[in-house]
A and B are shown apart, each in its own frame.
Chain A
Amino acid sequence: MRLVTRVIVLLSRAMQHAAPDPSSASPLPLSGSEDLVRSERDGGVGVAFRPALDAVGEALLRHMVRARVVSARMVGLQRSEKIGYHHASLGEEAAIVGAVLAMRATDWIFPGAREWYAGLARGLPLGVYVHHAFGSAEDPTNGHAAPDHAPARALHVVPPSGVIGAHLPQAVGAAWAAKIERANVATLALFGAEVAASGDFHNALNFGGVFKAPVVFVCRAKPDARIVDRAVAYGLASARVDGADALAVFTVVKAALARATEGKGPTLVEVVSPSLERVTAGAIDDAALAAGDVLDLGAGDPVARLGALLARENRASAGAQKVLAAEVMAELDAAVLAAERAGAPAPATIFEHVYAGVPAHLAAERQRLTGAQWDGGGG
């Protein structure tokens, strides 16, 4: 708990009105490139701390391996044009999995499309995700939404929008609603640094700050982006975390969640994503995937780093990760087969869920569409 407390102190220093307690204030800076929050266990430098590992490390690694293998497979399915596209998240696993696992099951997640794994991390079955990617008859959206935009309402995961950043003010609104309802619920908004250029980003941080909504903003960014500097303008706490270090992301988001639930308002967490050599070179192909060779994509790979750390502490082995990757591949094979077999949704489903009911004008259009098919003699 002391470690978490220390991170909270770090976070609170970013708030202009927070008076640091001299006895516990961190001597470490919160601006400048050397301020990355890293875990000591991971051998990093910067604002280092020693996180508790217990079951978290293993859960993080399991999900990160799964996210890695699924994304690598989806990249292949996009290349072979079996699916429309995929928002690859190779190298972003620590940011996404670390943040989602730090939240409680009752908290709401507002992911962007590239944070599609949020639903899977919460328990969305892989088969449903793949049906959705194929837009099959068993896609929960009836093939309405493009790949990586799946809803998971039972798991409090809101479907990503195609409009980059539109979900940020919504995450604030949901958090604000929870506050009004006196519910102990916070929200997490996940996004990339490009969102920081949008009006929605400004609206979200401004409204979130004004109403002290219990929301955590987690922004994935390149090293030179420095989105975190915006927080001070809105009176928000902030932290900048090493995106290769899942334990650091997890711990910082947990601390931000604690602030949120204590009524202290939003925190902006910038996760500095690693640039992985093999991702940049486009060297992830189906052959590498088939060989199980996707768990180390170059220096700074968060999956490889967490794997090595847990291996050092005898909590996991490289062999176990390969086995897990192979299991995910087998699960994917079955899911892809099922999605291909399911075929497309019935044409009439276009008209479902436009409104709660089907108004007369849509019923007429539906009749025209389905009737025309019959007239065409099976065309």
Chain B
Amino acid sequence: MTVVAQMNLVQAINDALKLEMKRDPRVVVLGEDVGRVGGVFRVTQGLWDEFGDERVVDTPLSEGGILGTAIGMALYGLRPVPEIQFADFIYPGYDQIVSELAKMRWRSGGEYSAKMVVRTPVGGGIRGGLYHSQSPESLFIHVAGLKVVCPASPYDAKGLLLAALRDPDPVLFFEPKRIYRAARGDVPEGDYTVELGKARIVREADRTSGEPAVTILAWGAMLYEAVAAAEKAAEQGIESEIVDLRTLWPVDIDTIAASVEKTGRVIVVHEAPKTCGFGAELIALINERCFLSLEAPPVRVAGFDTPFPYTLEMDYLPLAHRILPAIVQTAKY
């Protein structure tokens, strides 16, 4: 019988890193203060003590340097896991990700690949202001050659990270920092993976009543807001089916399409600005796949097309109180 422990997201990710570092000597963690300090959010706590300073490396403060050298390590055959302290700081290393990491396999005709998992916290709601709150997933989904993952539960965080570490392609692993400690759940001890590219139905819509139902697509911290809004909507007799995308790219369009065909209505929730956010792509894909099933215009409940505000962050975020009216309006359309 699998032993199960209660963990939060930080503990689950730490557990996965520890497990894989034991299993695979090629895995090397590097980043700013990931060693002795254990990372700004303590996600890598204890790794330095266990694996030493050659496998858990404190680097100079330069994301371009961290990612550039990590690519070289990966070319050589290691499995680096660079941590970018906040996703907001990934841009100095963006060129290494876009021009090098994502294209290495393609431009070398498959001779070389640079396998790594780039871990970085995303999202707002922690009083972090505009440089500690961003959700840049669509900037990476748009780049061919990358996979993008964003877990919402501790169980998925561990299983997805283990799968990401063993996947042959480079993976951006976005960790929703607002729920780093708030999200708690059962996590099995030992080895298991959650397959990349598979969404999860978190809440199923009951269509037996004949009342209108909506599909809500969400990931990361906003999944919990979607669930809260769906519970309120249920009190008004509106059924919601919630899909946690888990892997943002390649996206599980089959699960999404099946749900939208069932409900005929869809709402996408994300923290990133609305324009050219991943919601735009999701809705385009839904239009391509299930246009004739739609009974209402697809809706996006997203961050505003502004930088992320410090004081008014709870007004910026697409929280449950903003999702609920969208559910009601879409259901009644």
* Complex CA–CA separation, A211 to B35 (angstroms): 15
Known: A163-B99, A180-B28. A359 touches B250 (CB 8 A): yes
Interface string of B70-83 (1 = CB under 8 A from A): 11111111101000
A291 interfacial by beta-carbon distance below 8 Å: no
Contact of A353 among B54, B57, B105, B197 (CB under 8 A): B105
B71 in contact with A159 (CB, 8 Å) = no
Known: A169-B96, A207-B59. A174 touches B73 (CB 8 A): yes
| List of B residues within 8 angstroms of A108 by Cβ | 76
Q: How many contacts A-B (CB < 8 Å)? A: 150
Q: Check if A166 is an interface residue, CB within 8 A of chain B.
A: yes
Selected contact of A144 from candidates B74, B75, B107, B168, CB within 8 Å: B107
Minimal beta-carbon separation of B92 from chain A (angstroms):
7
When the two chains form their complex, are residues B68 and A176 in contact, meaning their CB atoms are under 8 A apart? no
A363 shortest CB reach to chain B, Å: 11
Q: Given the complex of chains A and B, what is the CA–CA distance between A89 and B109 in angstroms?
A: 25
A204 touches B68 (CB 8 A): yes
Chain A residues whose C-beta falls within 8 Å of the C-beta of B67 in the assembled complex: 169
Contact A170 B72, beta carbon cutoff 8 Å? yes
The residues of A that contact B107 with a CB separation of less than 8 Å are 141, 144-145, 149, 151, 159, 161
* B237-278 Cβ-contact flags toward A at 8 Å (1 or 0): 000000000000010010000000000000000000000000
Judged by a CB distance under 8 angstroms, whether B60 is at the interface is: yes
Indicate if A173 sits at the interface (CB-CB under 8 A).
Answer: yes
A161 — which chain B residues lie within 8 A by C-beta?
99-100, 107
Q: A172: which B residues are within 8 A, CB to CB?
A: 68-69, 72
Interface of chain A residues 162 through 188 with chain B (CB within 8 A): 162-163, 166, 168-178, 180-181, 187
Contact of A361 among B65, B68, B80, B250 (CB under 8 A): B250
Q: Which residues of A210-267 are within 8 A (CB) of B?
A: 210-211
A-B contact pairs, 13 of them (CB 8 A): A140-B111, A142-B109, A151-B107, A153-B108, A168-B68, A169-B69, A173-B69, A173-B71, A173-B73, A173-B74, A176-B72, A203-B64, A353-B109
Contact with A along B100-134 (1 / 0, CB 8 A): 10000111111111000000000000000000000
Partner among A176, A181, A356 whose Cβ is within 8 Å of the Cβ of B169: A356
Q: Are A180 and B109 in contact (CB under 8 A)?
A: no
Closest CB-CB distance, B162 to chain A, in whole Å? 17
Question: Interface residues, chain B, CB within 8 Å of chain A?
Answer: 28, 54-55, 57, 59-60, 62, 64-65, 67-78, 80, 92, 95-96, 99-100, 105-113, 144-145, 147, 168-169, 197, 250, 253
| Contact (Cβ within 8 A) A163 B95 | yes
Q: Which residues of B contact A180 (CB under 8 A)?
A: 28, 54-55, 73, 78
Indicate if the CB atoms of A173 and B72 lie closer than 8 Å. Answer: yes
Contact with B along A295-320 (1 / 0, CB 8 A): 00000000000000000000000000
Shortest C-beta distance, A255 to chain B (Å), equals 23
Chain A residues proximal to chain B, CB less than 8 Å: 108, 110, 139-142, 144-145, 149, 151-153, 158-159, 161-163, 166, 168-178, 180-181, 187, 199-200, 202-204, 206-207, 210-211, 352-357, 359-361
User: Across the interface, do A145 and B108 meet the contact criterion of CB distance under 8 Å?
Assistant: yes
Q: Decide if A207 touches B69 in the complex (CB within 8 Å).
A: yes
In angstroms, Cα B144 to Cα A359, docked, is: 11
Expressed in whole angstroms, the Cα–Cα distance for A352 and B108 within the complex equals 11
Q: Specify which of A110, A151, A162, A355 is in contact with B108 (CB 8 Å cutoff).
A: A151
Please, which residues of chain A bring their CB within 8 A of the CB of B105?
A: 353-356
B72 engages A175 (CB within 8 Å): yes
Whether the Cβ atoms of B92 and A177 lie closer than 8 Å is no
